[in-house]
Amino acid sequence: MSLLERIVIDPEVVHGRPRVRGTRMRVADVLALLASGADEAEILADYPYLTADDIRACLAYAAAQADHAVLLAS
């Protein structure tokens, strides 16, 4: 399974927000934890249903979302 396959969107779960497959943990929640200074080991200890690959998948998903072309209208 590729990292991005770990991230799913289902309108019936967490209001359609991107989440880690098999959990209700939103990508935004994992990113917020990382942004606040939590490291991988701390997140895995606090959320034992996550894996290191899940955290990397959240980062890969965020990177993919941030990588888009900017079009300027003239």
CATH code of the domain containing 24:
1.10.10.10
**Average pLDDT of each block of 10 consecutive residues along the chain (74 residues)?**
93 97 98 98 98 98 90 85
Domain that holds residue 26: 3-66
Retrieve residue 57's tokens.
């998948």
| Any domain includes 74 | no
| Any domain includes 72 | no
| Any domain includes 20 | yes
Residues 25 and 49: their CA atoms lie apart, in Å, by 9
| Any domain includes 26 | yes
Report how many domains make up the chain. Answer: 1
Q: Return the pLDDT at 29.
A: 98
| Any domain includes 42 | yes
